[in-house]
A and B are shown apart, each in its own frame.
Chain A
Amino acid sequence: MAVIGNNGAGKSTLLNTIAGTLPVDAGELRLADHDVTHKPVAYRSRWLSRVFQDPKMGTAGELSVAENLTLAEQHTGSMSLRGFRHKGQTAAYQELLQPLNMGLEDRLTTQVKYLSGGQRQALSLLMATLSHPELLLLDEHTAALDPQTSHQVMALTQKIVTENHLTTLMITHKMSDALTYGNRLVMVQDGQIKLDVRGEEKQRIRQEDLLGLFAD
């Protein structure tokens, strides 16, 4: 599901409310049959993952690639007193990173802060999907990347989401992305949903139609 809308329309508010960084004024929020309306971010993360707009936000720069992956692997047991390194981990992580085609599989012990923005964002994306969340939130996750890397990350997103059958909510400013990807499109304006199309209906919609709606 792709969400578009002009600046200040309420896209990010929507996403932050779902993620738990903004408190809810009214109403109820249910995730996988659990009431999470007033639950903290960490609790929601059992069913929810998020890729931030800023590549620096989604990863811990001081920690290595492998340590970041360990954090993302399981969203429970963060207080466990068991060692976080175990046998076969390196091989498993290399296998995970291989399909990204970014050479990350050879840099497991590199601190993430030395990676490029594109690499960091691809890693964030992989991390977000590692725990098989019920819902994946993408917050303009390609906005801070150059056009080519942005395209690469978008293709990767499509691949991972379809392979793992993930329910995904993507916020974007790129109308072409919103039209190309996903099977539902929502347009938000002034805090209200202005357009909500799915399936075949969505296929028929074109960029000009959206621009017309924006102008209203």
Chain B
Amino acid sequence: MLITSIGQGLLWAPLVIGVFLTFRILDIPDLTTEGSFPLGAAVTVSAMIHGQSAIVASLLGFLAGCLAGWVTGMLDTKLKMPSLLAGILTMTGLYSVNMHVMGKSNVPLLDQKVLTSYLPATWSVDLQTIVVGLGVTALVMAGLIWLFRTRLGLSLMATGNNAAMSAANGIYTDRMVILGYMVSNGCIALSGALIAQSNGFADIGMGIGTIVIGLAYVLVGEIFLRGRQIWLRLTAMVLGAVIYRYLLTVAMGLGFPVDDLKILSAGILVIVICLPLLRNKLQTKQQLKRYLKQIGVDEHATTSSLKRQAPTEGLLSRNGK
């Protein structure tokens, strides 16, 4: 069960990394995810049915995602729309695009070679999935770690953190935001391409709830691994995906119907968001208690001194009158 979760988690990892890029680096909740994830699946599966190899098809899926990100980026920066609305518009529009790409709402792969078919057939499916997932995730991570070592990467981080300051230091923030959207949605679409190949089909409804799942992955990952270095943060994302998949598998093992998984995901997200809040509150309470205990002796001293002062104050005020 754990092995399956690791494989599935690794296939979802590019999506988490994509969500992380917009949500954490650019500080934008990007709903395009819900459209770019099935877009990646649709483009890849269609390309494979039309005779493209799995590698080319997956790359096409990635590029299609970048294009979707570009559209949201343009709506957000050039047309000055709120980023939530920009994401919703692209996501809605992509539904039609996906239908056109696929031709019908569910397209199965027939006997096309998927990425795992390049591996020795003697390996188990789980092992094949893990190797492919690991390979793609490592590629994405290496690319991003390199990016965030360059001046461009620094400009991206600065834009998400303080746009006014970035512009004042010569960074064209609009371009950075668009670029961020593109890379992010490219990764998300790539994840869709991998999942479609693993499932053996692309479905119009496979994007539903991906933003919630993606955010849950991000937050779960950050609970387990914290740090400032980019490689650590990206590893946390992969870990989050694996752990989350494992939680879902456990839930399904307990007899949860598949249809209930979405509400479970939403529930887990609520818990994961509330957890740090509760922890902070608890810590503050404990600190206050400790502090009060420390000054407990002084407390009596202040009250007694107050009592002593009280008559003087009374006198003074009477004098004042």
Chain A residues with CB under 8 Å of chain B are: 19, 21, 40-42, 45-46, 49-50, 52, 56-63, 67, 70-72, 74-85, 111, 127, 131
> In the assembled complex, how far is the CB of residue A71 from the closest CB belonging to chain B, in whole angstroms?
5
Which chain A residues lie closer than 8 Å to B158 at the CB level?
A: 60, 63, 67, 71
Interface assignment of B168: CB less than 8 Å from any CB of chain A: yes
B150 touching A57, Cβ below 8 Å: no
Task: Check if B164 is an interface residue, CB within 8 A of chain A.
Answer: yes
B170 in contact with A61 (CB, 8 Å): no
With A81-B152, A84-B154 known to touch, is A58 a contact of B172 (CB < 8 Å)? Answer: no
In the complex, chain B residues whose CB is within 8 Å of the CB of A127 = 169
Known: A57-B162, A60-B158. Contact between A75 and B150, CB under 8 A?
no
Interface residues of B (CB under 8 A from A): 149-155, 157-158, 161-162, 164-173, 175, 228
Which residues of chain B come closer than 8 Å to A19, judged between CB atoms?
168
> What is the CB-to-nearest-CB distance from A199 to chain B, in angstroms, rounded to a whole number?
31
Instruction: Evaluate contact between B175 and A76: CB separation under 8 angstroms.
Output: no
Q: Which residues in A have their C-beta under 8 angstroms from that of B173?
A: 42
With A59-B162, A62-B161, A78-B170 known, 8 other A-B pairs at CB within 8 A are A40-B167, A42-B171, A60-B158, A61-B162, A71-B158, A79-B175, A83-B149, A111-B228
Is the pair B152, A80 in contact by a Cβ cutoff of 8 Å? Answer: yes
- Pair B161/A71 contact, Cβ less than 8 Å: no
CA distance A42 to B173 in the complex (A): 8
CA distance A71 to B149 in the complex (A): 13
Q: How far is the CA of A58 from the CA of B171 in the complex (A)?
A: 14
**Complex Cα gap A75–B171 (Å):** 7
Contact B170 A42 (CB under 8 A): yes
B237 shortest CB reach to chain A, Å: 17
Pick the contact of A76: B154, B165, B166, B170 (CB < 8 A): B170
Q: For residue A64, which residue of chain B has the nearest CB?
A: B228
Known A42-B171, A42-B172, A71-B171: A60·B166 in contact at CB below 8 Å: yes
Q: A45 to B228, alpha carbons, bound, how many Å?
A: 29
Q: Which residues of B contact A80 (CB under 8 A)?
A: 150-152
Could you tell me the distance in whole angstroms from the C-beta of B256 to the nearest C-beta in chain A? 38
* A-B contacts, CB under 8 A, total: 91
- Cα separation A52 to B162 with both chains bound (whole Å): 13
* Smallest CB separation, B144 vs chain A (Å): 13
B contact patch SS: helix
A214 to chain B, nearest CB (A): 31
Distance between Cα atoms of A62 and B227 in the complex (Å): 12
When the two chains form their complex, are residues B172 and A40 in contact, meaning their CB atoms are under 8 A apart? yes
The minimal Cβ–Cβ distance linking B148 to chain A, given in whole angstroms, is 9
The reply to whether A82 and B150 contact each other, CB–CB distance below 8 Å, is yes
Provide the bound-state CA to CA distance between A127 and B164, in Å: 14
User: Is A71 a contact partner of B150 (Cβ separation < 8 A)?
Assistant: no
**In the assembled complex, how far is the CB of residue B201 from the closest CB belonging to chain A, in whole angstroms?**
38
> Known: A57-B165, A83-B150. Is A63-B170 also a contact (CB below 8 A)?
no
A residues in contact with B161, CB < 8 Å: 60-63
Contacts of B175 in A (CB 8 A): 79
Residue contacts A-B, CB under 8 angstroms, 22 given: A42-B167, A45-B167, A45-B168, A57-B164, A60-B162, A60-B165, A62-B157, A62-B161, A63-B157, A63-B161, A71-B155, A71-B171, A74-B170, A75-B170, A78-B171, A79-B175, A80-B151, A80-B152, A81-B152, A83-B149, A84-B153, A131-B170
A165 to B: closest C-beta gap in Å: 21
Q: In the complex, how many angstroms separate the beta carbon of B182 from the nearest chain A beta carbon?
A: 14
Across the interface, do B152 and A79 meet the contact criterion of CB distance under 8 Å?
A: yes
Shortest Cβ distance from residue A121 to the other chain B in the assembled complex, whole angstroms: 13
Taking CB atoms, residues of chain B closer than 8 Å to A71 are 154-155, 158, 166, 169, 171
Given contacts A40-B167, A57-B162, A60-B161, contact A78 B172 (CB under 8 A): yes
Minimum CB–CB distance from A50 to chain B (whole Å) comes to: 5
Measured in the bound complex, the distance between the Cα atoms of B162 and A54 in whole Å is 12
CA distance A80 to B150 in the complex (A): 7
Q: Which residues of A contact B168 (CB under 8 A)?
A: 19, 41, 45, 49-50, 58
On whether A45 and B157 interact (CB within 8 A), knowing A78-B151, A79-B175, A83-B150, the answer reads: no
How distant is A97 from chain B, measured CB to nearest CB, in Å?
Answer: 18
Please judge, given known A-B contacts A79-B152, A81-B152, whether A41 and B162 are in contact too, CB under 8 Å: no
In the complex, which residue of chain B has the Cβ closest to the Cβ of A62?
Answer: B161
Contact B170–A46 (Cβ < 8 Å)? yes
8 A-B pairs with the lowest CB-CB distances in the bound complex, closest first? A75-B170, A45-B170, A41-B167, A80-B151, A60-B161, A78-B171, A78-B155, A60-B162
